[in-house]
Structures are given as C-alpha cells and as structure tokens.
Structure 1
Amino acid sequence: MTRSTSSRLIVGAALRSPGWFALFVLASVTVNVIAVVVPSALAEVINAVFLGSGEGATVLRFGVLVAVAVLAQVLIVLSATGCCVAGTLWIRRRLVDHVLALPVRAASRFPTGELTTRLNADAASAGQLLVCLTGSVLAATTALAALVVLFGMSPWFGAVFALGVTPMILLAKRFLSCSTGLHLRYQQGLAALATLLHDALRGVRTIRAAGTADREVHRVLGPLPELAAAGDALWQVQRNMVWRAMLLVPLTELVVLAMAGFEVTNGRLTAAELLAVSGYLMLALGLFGQIDGLLGLAADRAGVQRVAEVLGTAPQRVTAVPRPLPDGTGALSFRAVTVVDGGHLLLDRVSLEVPGGASLALVGRSGAGKSTLAALVGRLVEPDQGTVLLDGVPLGELDPAELRAQVGYAFERPVLFGATVAEAIAPGTGSRRSLLVAAATAADADTFIQRLPGGYDTALADIQLSAGEMQRLGLARAIAGHPRVLVLDDATSSLDTVTEAHIARALATGFAGRTRLLVAHRAATAARADLVAWLDDGRIRAVGPHVELWPDPRYRAVFGPESLEQW
C-alpha cells in the first residue's frame, strides 16, 4: 500500500505542473545531448585550427553548441524550481486534507511535531524527487552514451572503463540504500524533538510554576543522542563512499588515458582525438562523482516514504453514493457498538436509543466510555463493530459534510479558529451577525464579548481568555450552526453552577425539539437532562431519569463528594 502510494505521490507531484516538467526534461535532454557531442566537436575545432581549413565555421558551430547549452542550463534551473514548488504545494495540500479526513484515533498516531516535520521538510523532499530522479537517469544515460562512444573509438577503452566502474555501481547502490534508511532515522529524530518541544511550549506556564525547566530541557533534548548517532552514521557512509570513489575513479581514468596516450604514440589516435577520449571519459565518470546528488536522492526517498506513510493511513470511510438525511429531530440509535483502541476495550456492545429532541446525560467514572460514545455521533471515532444511526440513517452512509452540519460539538478545551471573535464563533464570514449574537447569548458569552475593545470584531490574538470564556465561545460555535444534534463533551466544566444552569435553560428553549448529548460530571447537570445513560467499563449499566437512578448508592458515587454536596 505504501509503495503504491509513494509511486502515485512521486508522479502526481511532477504532473501538477506538466509544462514545467516537460520543459525540464527537454532542457535536460538538450544539455546531455550537447555534452555527448562537445568532446567530438572540440576535437574538430582543434583539428580545423591546426590544419587551417574551415576553422571559422567549425568554431561558430561549437560556439552555438555552448550557447544553447548555457541557455538550456538556465531553463533547467527555472523549470526545476517551478516543478518542485508546484509539486510541494500539492503534496502539502494533500497531507492537510488527508489528516483532517482521518478518524481521530488514526490521526492521533501522528503527533503535532511529527506532522509539522512531514508537512515541511518531508513534503519538500517528496515534491522534488521525480525531478532529481529524472536528472540522475539522464546523467546515467549520458554516461552510457559516452561509454558507447569510447567503445567505438577503441573496445579496450570501453572494456577498461567497464571493469573499473562496476564496483562503483555496486557501491552507489549500497550507498543509496543505506543513506535512505539513515535519513529516515534522522528525520524521525527531528520529528521526535519537534513533538517534545511543542508539548513543552503548550505547558510552559505549568513548567514555570513547578520550577521544572531544567528537567524539561533534558526531556526535550532526549532524542539528541539518537539524532547525533544517525547523523554520524550518515557521514560515515558518505565518507566510505567518497574515499572509494576517489580511489577507483582516478585509477580508471589513469588507465584509460594511458592506453589512449599509447594509441597516440602508435599513430592510431590524433592529439585532438586524445582530447575527445579524455572528454568522454570524464563524462562517463561524472555520474559517480556526484556523491552529494546521491545523498540528496536518498533524503528525497526518505521524505516520500514518510509522506506516503501518512497518506497510506485509511481515511474515514465514505459510501460511494451518500444517502440524504431525512427530516428529523436527531434521533440516535447505537446498535451493539464496540470500540477497541490499542487492545483496550473502550465500548463493549453498547446498544442505546436516544429519542429525537431529548437531552441525554452520559455519566460514569473516568474511562467508562462517555467521551468515546459521544465521539461516535459525529464519526470522530469509528466503531469497530456495530452501527450508529441518525434519524434512521447509518452514519457511514451520510455525506460527511452533511453530518458535520447536523452534529455540533463543544469540548472541554475548545480550539478557536479565525482572526476575530466573530470568525471563532462562525468560521467564514457568511453568517449573519444576528445569528452570531443569538448563539453567543445562548452560550452566555455575549456579555463579555460586548466588553471587548472591538466587540465581536476583536482580534483573537489581542485578548487573553479564561478557560470559562473559551468554553463559552466553543459552545457558541457549536450552537451557531443550529444542528439537529448538539454534543457537549464536558463543555461546561470550567463554568460555575449558576452560569451552567443559565446555559442549560437557554439550550432547552433554543434547542427545543433538538437532541442534546451531555458528558456530565456534576449531579446537577445530569438532573437537568431528560434521560441519563450510566456507563461502567464500556457498558451501559442503566438508562433512565436521574431521579430514578439517584437512590442507587453506586450511581451517586459516580459524581464524587463535591458533586453530591452541590446536588
């Protein structure tokens, strides 16, 4: 799967700009053809000058060849840049689109620092691989053509060259294979370092408050030994390749030129033809002098593998012909749903019916499966077995865009997007201000928003929000789309009980006839819901109104002493 993805990625990146790629190939072929012609053309110029016949026309032809080669070389640089930029941009867009389409559990395999590294350095490497590979293939073709010319001038020249260059080919192949693996190790070390640094920056206030900065520095720099080892091994492989090349290449060149000199002394070659032999020999050996080029090719191959690993991760399943969602009030049906993560059973054959328009509180101890069950509604998590239906339609048969529009989420720690407060509530500028204000009012956020310097147009970067204010903006964002199902995953945990009660009343009024799922940790929150689903170790222990479940001491124990006092 990854190899197939890699192949499509390499070709697709180059074909994002077919004009640039075609120009690159044409210019490269032109330069390589001229390179093969130049030694013979130079020999003709020397012969013409010494013989004194037709030197003007010969020199002019040679000058035209050189001028065309220079122009083609300029075009190679321009077209390669255009092709690589377009390919890299395409790969980065594919990566972002693919990651955002992954189920939450699949996306969590790639930490933020890891994805950042793949999106930047690895995508750039992948975007230029086919250009580099094409250049290497053409260089190899040119070297082969030069070898054929050497055979034509004397079979002994070609035979000696082939004998000397065979070990070089084996060395280059081994070098490319080893370098790719070492580049993978090195890039993985960089990604680990970036991930640890990202985590440390997110928790910088806690680190300072705890006085653990020195310990955190050691933790962040933990991957450095592995990074240094991979880098050292990479240079060791390169060093071994270079000294062998420096031994074999001059030795081969010396033997062939000595044979050519012997042919000159015997009168079978002219001095000009000796110069041509030297030119073709250097041309044939040129491929093996490009150690840096092979190293770059290895880095690009490693980049392609790392990008392909992400793209090869199965995205969210989408039916070929999505079914339309019928009118309804958000009735939910969980039918024998099982969710397993890393061998750990999160939900075990859960069956639950949520009437349309009802409010359902999900309660249970930490790890009981509340958030997992809530995540199933919007396909943030896929069931390993069983089916979830919305108004009678299996979620997997719905268009993902329609599902996102009909299921709104508010989380304990919301992430706000957009430049302004208004954009954070309703991404994009299409929503009417009255809808934004209504959503913010229902989330009890309008009052503090109006106190901001620019109100709803205040830039997010210019303000510091408390955890409760962040939660209220996240809740307003979920309400603004007026979905038929609203999921609150501990979305009011940072609010005081009075504010939470006010929001609950607003939702009961504004969302009358719509379904609400609440991950609840407070007894008061569960009491305001129409129904309570009590989860324990991934199973439904009981379903019913809070008042009916409350007499059970095991149910009361779920909320803990603090919640009992509030209740």
Structure 2
Amino acid sequence: MQSADRLVAQTVRHGGPWPAVLAVVSIAGALAELALPFSLGRAVDGLTATGPVPGDRLAVCAALVAVAVSCDAVGVWAAGAGGARASRWLRDRLVRHVLGVGPAVTRRIPEGDLVTRAGVNAEEVGRAPETVVTGAALLLPTAGGLVALTLIDPWLTAALAAGLVVIGFVLRAFLRVSTSLAGDYQQAQGDIAARLADALAGARTIAAAGTAGEERARVLAVLPRLRVHAMEMWRVNARAGVQAGVVVPLLEVVVLGAGGLRLASGDLSAGELYSAARYVVLGAGVGAALGHLGGLARARAAAGRICGLLAGEPRGYGDRTLPPGPGTLELKDVSAAGLADVDLVVPGGCAVAVVGRSGAGKSLLAALAGRLADPERGAVLLDGVPMPALSREALRGAVGYAFERPVLAGDTIADAIGLGLRDRDPRTVRASARAACADAFVLRLPLGYDTAPGDAPMSGGERQRLGLARAFAHGGRLLVLDDATSSLDTVTERQVSEVLSGRLRNRTRLVVTHRVATAAAADRVIWLEDGRVRGYDRHRALWADPAYRAVFQPDAPPADSP
C-alpha cells in the first residue's frame, strides 16, 4: 500500500489552501474544547463557593462555546472545498495519464471499471484532506487531556493512558481490516460497471437476440458479492465501535471513582473533579476517530485502484520538427505484440494498401505508422526523423487518422472535423468535408456545421465520412485509413478514392482494406500474414499467388483477374 499512501499524501497536498484552513480551525476548535472544561470547572467551583458566580467566568465559557461552534462551521466549508479541489486535481491527472498512455489502458482495464476508478474512487481519495487533517486534529484533545489530567492528578493520567493503549490497538486493527474490505467492495463496484458498459455497447445485439433477461442477470450477478463485502464492512465498523464504546465509559467510571476518592480526602475540588471527567471524555475522544479512519481506509483502497490505473508511462514527445519532404515512411526492423521483423519503406506520395486476414496485424501496423503505438523493437521514421523525436504538434500536424468506427468529439460537427487543429479555419473544415463527400449531408442537418454530433442522425457511412474529413484536415504528409471506408456505399467510396488519388496524391496514404478494388488501385500492397510481411509489391504481381487471392475470399474475382 506504499504507492497508495503516497498518492493519498499527494492528494492532500493538492487540496489547495483549504487543508491548511481546516487544520487551523480544527486546532482552534480543539484548543477551545480543551479550555472549556477548565472554565466550566472554575464556574462550578464558583457555584459551590459562597457568594455569586463571577460573570466573567460565564462569559468565558460562552465565548469558548461560540469559538468551537464557529470552527466546526468553517471546518465543514473548508473540508468540502478542499475535497473538491483535490478530486479535481486527481481526475485531471487521471485523464491526462489515460489519454497519454492511449489504448493500452483499456486493454488492461475494462472501460466501465476505468470510469468507476476515475469517478467514484477519485472522489473517495479526494476526501483524504478532510479525513487526514481532521483525524490528526483529534490527537490534540487527547494530548491536551493527558496534560490537563496530569496537572490535576497524575493518578488519573495513568488510568486514561491505559485506556488509550487499548483504543489504539482497536483503531489499528480497524484500519487494516477496513482497507482490505473497502478494496474488495470497490472492486465489485468496478465489475458491475464494466459489465454494464459491455451490455450498453452491445444493446442492439442483445435486443436482436432477445437476451435482455440473461444479460441483466449477468450484469447483476456481482450484487451478492457486493452485499457480502458491504455487510462485512458494517460488522467490522460496528465491532470496533462497540469495543471503543465500552472502553470510554469504563475510563470515565474509573477516573470518576478515583477522583471521588481524591475529592473525599480533600485533594480535589468539585470543579477539578468535573474538569477531570470532561478531560477523560476529550482524551478518549480518539475513539471518535473511527469515522475518520473508515474514510481513510476507503481512500487508501481507492488510491490503490487508481495506482493500478496510473501504471504505465504516458507516451513522450520530442521537440523536433519535420524537414521538407514528401512524407516517406520507414519501418526498420519493427516488432511489436502481434508484428515481427517489419522492414519496409513507403515512398512519399504513394498510396499503399495493407491487406491480410483477420488478426494478421493490419491495425497494429497502422497504429505504428502514425505513432498511436510504439514498437517494442526497431524504429519508425517519417522523412528520416524518428517518430518519438517529433513534437506533439509536428506529429499531429503531419499525420491524419481515420478509423472504421470514428468517435466524433466536440460540441459541433465543425469541432469534430477540426479537432486538434491549431487554427480551426472554417474554410479548411469545409474543404475537408467536401473531399470526404460529407459536405452535402452536413448542410442538411438542422444547424449545418454547428449541429451537435449527438443531435445529428447519421448512418455508419456518414460517420465514416466525417472521420475521413478529420483525417484530411490533419494529415499534411501521411494519411492512415484503418478500414475507414468499409461502411461507404460503392459510389461514395469511388468518389473518395478519386480524391485520394487526385487532390491528395501529394500525401503518403496507408490504407487498411479488405476490398480487392482498393488494393488494385493502390501503388503498392503490404500483404501481412501471421504478423509478418509476406509480400510487398504491386497488386498485379501479388495476385499470381493463390494465397494472396485467398485473402479476399469470398469476394475475390476469379483467379485469372488482374
């Protein structure tokens, strides 16, 4: 749990000024509570003495009560503000890390569980400033109570110290067990979220298959496990509360008994006995730390889950820019999980198709080409510059990606097309949409390019056209189309192909495809099989190999077709 504890400490430090404010008011409130028994004791002595009670003693008591109440009120405000600020810092760090690492995160952690960690768990860790500061502030009344009892009568201090040792063992065991149980509970929450996210992603398939009942049962199958962990957490909390609750009254009885004997012998006054009883309650008030320790346990468990999300280094970038060049792409002895020994050069301005059976490594090759992924071995260069040496701006300005299922991020269609452009010129956005054959249907939308993507009824092919438009707007030298035309109708695909071979022919084009016509129209074809390059030549030359023709079955034309 060391990494989790470090994350909790970092979160406390990023609560802004509010943890400091909370510490100040907590200490001030604790001091007021420590001074109040003394003042009340003096008032009691005044009542038992002959003559009227001095008014200043009652005024001091009232002032101390007002200070304690005011500190509590300010403390609630500071705790909320500090927790919100700490949660914001942690969520910002999580989002930056997840986006920096890229798709590797979702390969390790299901999307639903990822959202749970970045949402509920981050909020639990964000409460750490309140838990840590307020819990630590409880030590002040305890220490003050010990000192005050020592000044009143050392024998009373010995009784309180013995009780505090017992309470300390109870709290230590409670923190250890609660942290483990909270982690199990949070894991069950994440499992439910992951199953629900899968079900929502496949809602149409579930409806078509008529398996909504079975899917509901699968999602909710984790609920019994969640209940077991919740009940066990409740039992542990109740058991610790009972243990601490038994010790405190016993301490009060022991101290009051010993104090009564001292009072009978004349060694204590009635006011001192009352003060001693109050200081026992304050000193043993560390038992009230159960609630704060429970919060700390949940924060530590949540921090452990977030540390799992923070594993892995975000992709780093250099500071180099690209020299003038045609967009020559080189892969030198590249190997990655699913690809091995890829060594080829794509000349600048060429259109190269990437073909192969499912699982051959086509999408991975496309990801390596534009540095959506880094190879485990070897190097990928664009116009002679290694990809990792390029700045983020240079890389994303040079490479444009389009995918089979594009995600349209942004408040409007124009934002989705121009996402990431430093200068989002409406003319550039419109020209890219026209190139992707998307301009006509965008203009038919209620607000045209200002329509929100969620308000635009679009088919899969129309979404792909917007994805292509985004790639055209970005890819100044290299366009990587990962099966990005699979949902286009024949006419639209031909029009897009004419644009790729016409006005965009000065850019290098890497096109992952399953269609023989696309491969035939390319300048060259990279044929992948079992993660290796089996062929790299013109389509006509590769067509002589029956194994190559079989890649396009059952859609391939007869074997004697060019």
Report the residue type matching 1:116 in the other structure: V
Q: Would you say 1:335 and 2:332 are equivalent positions?
A: yes
Contact 2:131-2:293 at 8 Å conserved across structures: no
Counterpart of 2:54? 55
Report the residue type matching 2:432 in the other structure: A
Counterpart of 2:457? 464
Counterpart of 1:488? 481
Tell me, in whole angstroms, the C-alpha distance in 1 between the residues paired with 2:557 and 2:354. 17
Tell me, in whole angstroms, the C-alpha distance in 1 between the residues paired with 2:512 and 2:420. 28
Report the residue type matching 1:395 in the other structure: M
- Which of the numbers 536, 555, 559 marks the counterpart of 2:548? 555
Alpha-carbon displacement from aligned partner over 1:334-379 (angstroms, at most 9, x marks no partner): 1111112xxxxx0112111111111111111111111001101232
Counterpart of 1:109? 108
Alpha-carbon displacement from aligned partner over 1:89-109 (angstroms, at most 9, x marks no partner): 111111111111113223432
Task: Give the structure-2-normalised TM-score.
Answer: 0.95
Tell me, in whole angstroms, the C-alpha distance in 1 between the residues paired with 2:329 and 2:102. 20
Tell me, in whole angstroms, the C-alpha distance in 2 between the residues paired with 1:510 and 1:149. 87
Q: Would you say 1:46 and 2:44 are equivalent positions?
A: yes
Q: Would you say 1:299 and 2:298 are equivalent positions?
A: yes
Contact 2:22-2:74 at 8 Å conserved across structures: yes
Counterpart of 1:343? none
Tell me, in whole angstroms, the C-alpha distance in 1 between the residues paired with 2:213 and 2:401. 38
Matches within 5 A, 1:211-250: 211-250=210-249
Contact 1:49-1:55 at 8 Å conserved across structures: no
In the TM superposition, residue 387 of structure 1 has moved relative to its aligned partner by: 1.1
SS of aligned partner of 1:362: strand
Report the residue type matching 2:375 in the other structure: P
Tell me, in whole angstroms, the C-alpha distance in 2 between the residues paired with 1:11 and 1:105. 25
SS of aligned partner of 2:495: helix
Contact 2:22-2:134 at 8 Å conserved across structures: no
Matches within 5 A, 1:68-467: 68-319=67-318, 322-340=319-337, 346-427=338-419, 430-467=423-460
Which consecutive residues of structure 2, in runs of 5 or more, have no partner in the other structure?
A: none
Report the residue type matching 1:460 in the other structure: P
Q: Would you say 1:36 and 2:34 are equivalent positions?
A: yes
Q: Would you say 1:500 and 2:493 are equivalent positions?
A: yes
Residues 141 and 121 of structure 1, relative CA distance in 2, 3 Å threshold: same
Residues 178 and 12 of structure 1, relative CA distance in 2, 3 Å threshold: closer
In the TM superposition, residue 3 of structure 1 has moved relative to its aligned partner by: 3.5
Counterpart of 1:476? 469
In the TM superposition, residue 490 of structure 1 has moved relative to its aligned partner by: 0.4
Task: Give the structure-1-normalised TM-score.
Answer: 0.94
In the TM superposition, residue 184 of structure 1 has moved relative to its aligned partner by: 1.0
Q: Would you say 1:530 and 2:530 are equivalent positions?
A: no
Residues 16 and 276 of structure 1, relative CA distance in 2, 3 Å threshold: closer
Tell me, in whole angstroms, the C-alpha distance in 2 between the residues paired with 1:146 and 1:34. 12
Residues 134 and 46 of structure 1, relative CA distance in 2, 3 Å threshold: same
Tell me, in whole angstroms, the C-alpha distance in 2 between the residues paired with 1:478 and 1:74. 55
Contact 1:10-1:127 at 8 Å conserved across structures: no
Contact 1:349-1:539 at 8 Å conserved across structures: yes
Aligned Cα root-mean-square deviation (Å): 2.0
Residues 564 and 41 of structure 1, relative CA distance in 2, 3 Å threshold: farther
In the TM superposition, residue 23 of structure 1 has moved relative to its aligned partner by: 1.8
Tell me, in whole angstroms, the C-alpha distance in 2 between the residues paired with 1:401 and 1:91. 26
Larger displacement relative to structure 2 (244-253 or 171-180):
244-253
SS of aligned partner of 2:127: helix
Contact 1:16-1:87 at 8 Å conserved across structures: yes
Tell me, in whole angstroms, the C-alpha distance in 2 between the residues paired with 1:302 and 1:384. 33
Residues 246 and 11 of structure 1, relative CA distance in 2, 3 Å threshold: same
In the TM superposition, residue 9 of structure 1 has moved relative to its aligned partner by: 5.4
Following superposition, which runs of at least 4 residues in structure 1 exceed 4 angstroms of deviation?
Answer: none
Tell me, in whole angstroms, the C-alpha distance in 2 between the residues paired with 1:428 and 1:540. 33
In the TM superposition, residue 170 of structure 1 has moved relative to its aligned partner by: 1.1
Larger displacement relative to structure 2 (136-145 or 278-287):
136-145
Contact 2:332-2:380 at 8 Å conserved across structures: yes
Contact 2:245-2:287 at 8 Å conserved across structures: no
In the TM superposition, residue 483 of structure 1 has moved relative to its aligned partner by: 2.5
- Which of the numbers 490, 505, 512 marks the counterpart of 1:512? 505
Contact 1:377-1:407 at 8 Å conserved across structures: no
Larger displacement relative to structure 2 (85-94 or 6-15):
6-15
In the TM superposition, residue 8 of structure 1 has moved relative to its aligned partner by: 5.2
Number of equivalences: 558
